[in-house]
C-alpha cells in the first residue's frame, strides 16, 4: 500500500465510526469523527477514487 492512500482510508474509517456512533445514539461524540472523515475524504478524493476503482 502506498503512503498517500493512508489518509483517505483513515477518512473513510472515521466517517464509518462516526456514523456508527450516530446509530448507537451518541450524537455529540459522532460529530468530530464525521467532520474529520468528510474533510479527509474531500481533501484526498483523487486517491480515494483510485482506491475505489474509478481511477482517471
Task: Please state, in angstroms and rounded to a whole number, the distance separating the CA atoms of residues 40 and 15.
Answer: 9
Eight-state DSSP code of residue 40: H
pLDDT (tens digit per residue) in 3-43? 666 777 888 889 999 999 999 988 898 999 999 888 888 88
Identify the pLDDT of residue 5. Answer: 67
**How many CB atoms sit inside 10 A of residue 26's CB?**
12
Whether the model clears a pTM of 0.75, i.e. scores above it, the answer is: no
Identify the pLDDT of residue 56. Answer: 52
Task: Please state, in angstroms and rounded to a whole number, the distance separating the CA atoms of residues 20 and 27.
Answer: 10
Residues whose CB is less than 8 angstroms from the CB of residue 44 and which lie 6 or more positions away in sequence, other chains included: 4, 7, 8, 11
Q: Does position 55 have pLDDT exceeding 60, yes or no?
A: no
Task: Please state, in angstroms and rounded to a whole number, the distance separating the CA atoms of residues 27 and 45.
Answer: 26
Identify the pLDDT of residue 21. Answer: 92
Amino acid at each position: 500500500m502506498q503512503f498517500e492512500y493512508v489518509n483517505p482510508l483513515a477518512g473513510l474509517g472515521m466517517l464509518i465510526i462516526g456514523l456508527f456512533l450516530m446509530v448507537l445514539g451518541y450524537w455529540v461524540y459522532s460529530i468530530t469523527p464525521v467532520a474529520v472523515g468528510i474533510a479527509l475524504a474531500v481533501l484526498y478524493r483523487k486517491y480515494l477514487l483510485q482506491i475505489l476503482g474509478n481511477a482517471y
